[in-house]
Amino acid sequence: MRFLITGTAGFIGFHLAKRLLADGHEVQGIDALTPYYDVELKKRRHAILAGSNRFTAHVAHLEDGELIAEIHGAAKPDVIVHLAAQAGVRYSLENPEAYVRSNVDGTFNLLEIMRPSPPKHFIFASTSSVYGANRVMPFRENDRADHPLTLYAATKKAGELMAHSYAHLFNIPTTALRFFTVYGPWGRPDMALFKFVDAILKNRPIDIYGEGRMSRDFTYVDDLVEAIVRLVPVVPERGAASDAIDSLSPAAPFRVVNAGGGAPVELTRFVEAIEQKLGRIAEKNFLPMQPGDVTDTFASADLLQQLTGYKPATPVEEGVGKFVDWYRDYFGV
């Protein structure tokens, strides 16, 4: 199949493209190589993908609608996976405009491009952050997600809503996939795992927010990729949901699916897994919650398992171990 993936120099986009190429597919990748974090890391990811003659990289901003339309027209993709976004909850407090440009304007441009020739399946990367102030656990796709706590979450919810309207108006089969704390090798330097490992190996203290009483439904990146691959042929069709847990829209070929394993891990256990792998005890600064943070995330994996027969299950000790091995190799530590 022919895939168009936005964000292929990013953490998740890189892993997905690598898997699809290994499976024999063609991948056209779009990435702006923005300096939100180390551009060299992004270039290294793209360089690995370029080892396949079935991968083509395009350096472009999604905000440049004309250029994206040209790339799309030449690619003629069967499936579009939209992963490119301005990520990070905390950075949205510093540079909110970047989130509107990338996550709202960029997504709008992509939707406009699909109007005349919809793909067989459009998969949109959303986030567990859209559940916001919802305190009902576990988070289910049919729960209300109307109270975002950060602009990042609000822009991702806006993307879901825009995608739903385009699915309804122009018959674009769409799955909005809500990611839950994805981690693993080649991860972003602004993510907790990367920062913790880097600090511990450099004998610096680590900051643990929420006094260490938070928990997250951590999802190992290979598990997320497997979920996406399995969802590609599960194309939403206009019509009634199959049962009470199905989030299929009554008005569009549009469905929301959680991408999480439904097994929250306390932050203290996550840190212990890092310490055990490194053979070092971290010096810890326990700090209050940061603005926009939530105490817990907890995915219901029922719908994902119903649709694909699969749910993420890699233990954090195993996933953390693989990240540390990658970090040591990449930085020569």
Give the residue numbers marked as catalytic.
152
HSE-up of 112 (CA within 13 Å, CB side)? 15
Burial of 240: CB neighbours in 10 Å, binned 0-12, 13-18, 19+: exposed
CA pair distance 304, 257, nearest whole angstrom: 6
CA pair distance 112, 72, nearest whole angstrom: 11
Percent helix, strand, coil in the chain (nearest 5)? Answer: 40, 15, 40
CA pair distance 124, 116, nearest whole angstrom: 18
Cβ distance 90 to 292 under 8 Å? yes
CA pair distance 17, 61, nearest whole angstrom: 18
CA pair distance 173, 238, nearest whole angstrom: 8
Q: 121-127 and 265-266: which strand pairing?
A: unpaired
Burial of 150: CB neighbours in 10 Å, binned 0-12, 13-18, 19+: buried
Phi, psi of 220 (to 5 degrees): -65, 140
Burial of 203: CB neighbours in 10 Å, binned 0-12, 13-18, 19+: exposed
CA pair distance 91, 85, nearest whole angstrom: 13
Number of H helices and E strands in the chain, helices first, is 12, 13
